[in-house]
Amino acid sequence: MSWLTLADLTGDGIIDIIASDPAVDNGTLTPYPGDDGITRAAGGPRFDREALERRRAAGPVKVGAGWNMMDVIFLNDVNLDGWLDLVGKVKSTGELRAYPHSRGISGTTTWGAPQLIGRGWGPHDVIS
């Protein structure tokens, strides 16, 4: 699944872009932390992917792999701790799984172990 969403994944109060890449590692997610303002002081759009990648010395940090198993993914603070958790619907089973945010952006440990939060949602394409 290929998608983009806007959400404050880093917890600094500034909206970030989170982008999927279904062609890498069976589906990766990459957050691109936003800066403040609608446009950058230097001009140009706020979410210029190449500029955001250049700014990060080590390149963008991918937050997990294998997300192609999901046909719906959204971010919501389902455990009400103030950090956005990832909720996905498993394509093959219709299960909803919640991956709690670890309160850090750290590659494969950004999300905690999945918790089953729903069953029988296979027929539904979009949940929000």
Q: How many residues bind Ca ion (CB under 5 A)?
A: 11
Sheet holding 16-21, edge to edge: 4-7, 16-21, 28-32
- 36 lies in the site for Ca ion, by CB under 5 A: no
Residue count of the chain, please give it.
Answer: 128
- 83 lies in the site for Ca ion, by CB under 5 A: yes
Nearer to Ca ion, 92 or 113 (CB): 113
Nearer to Ca ion, 68 or 99 (CB): 99
Q: How far is the CB of 23 from Ca ion (least distance, A)?
A: 26
Binder to Ca ion among 79, 93, 102, 115 (CB under 5 A)? 79
- 85 lies in the site for Ca ion, by CB under 5 A: yes
Return d(Cα 116, Cα 50) in angstroms, integer. 36
Six-digit token pair at 96?
């909803």
Stretch that binds Ca ion, among 7-15, 20-28, 55-63, 102-110 (CB under 5 A): 7-15
Return d(Cα 37, Cα 19) in angstroms, integer. 20
- 6 lies in the site for Ca ion, by CB under 5 A: no
DSSP 66-102: -GGGEEEEEEE-TT-SSSPEEEEEETTT--EEEE-B-
Binder to Ca ion among 1, 5, 7, 10 (CB under 5 A)? 10
